[in-house]
Amino acid sequence: MVDVSSKRATRRVARAEAVVFMGAAAFRALREATLAKGDALTTAQIAGIAAAKRTDELIPLAHALPLGSIDVRFEWKPPNRLRIEAEARTNARTGVELEALVAATVAALTIYDMTKALDKGIAIERVALLEKRGGKSGTWRRR
């Protein structure tokens, strides 16, 4: 684990995304909220938030952080994609990139779980850091 004890705590923000691709029937059922398992978007949002809070338990060398907020949002990307964006915020000695990435990934896996009965070909196409702010390295944005 990297020693961050001598670093100053600063405000840090990170945004990450995951994109889930599925067939038309699964996409329609997800969008119309007619899945047998229930409300997939709310379930995925809660799963992403809960996972972000446990990032240090999932990633062996990650620091435990006092998270100020985690937000998980969804965007429909027709024809058959759901974009998930997660944003994590803290005031700490190290960044929250992993927490944002974990939130987006677990939310995507939850969507997969809740729609897999309708489509065996679902794919999580992309998980990526979009932006990080704060700390010694400042701001970084994916282009």
Give the chain's domains with CATH numbers: 19-134 (3.30.70.640)
Q: What is the pTM of this model?
A: 0.95
DSSP 6-36: TSPPEEEEEEEEEEEE--HHHHHHHHTT--T
Q: Is 119 annotated as catalytic?
A: no
- List the chain residues with pLDDT less than 70: none
So what's the pLDDT on residue 75?
A: 98
pLDDT in tens, 40-63: 999 999 999 999 999 999 999 999
Catalytic option among 3, 39, 56, 113: 113
Do 20 and 92 touch, CB atoms closer than 8 A? no
Helix (H/G/I), strand (E/B), else coil: 56: helix
Pure H helices in the chain:
24-31, 40-53, 55-58, 97-115
pLDDT in tens, 85-95: 999 999 999 99
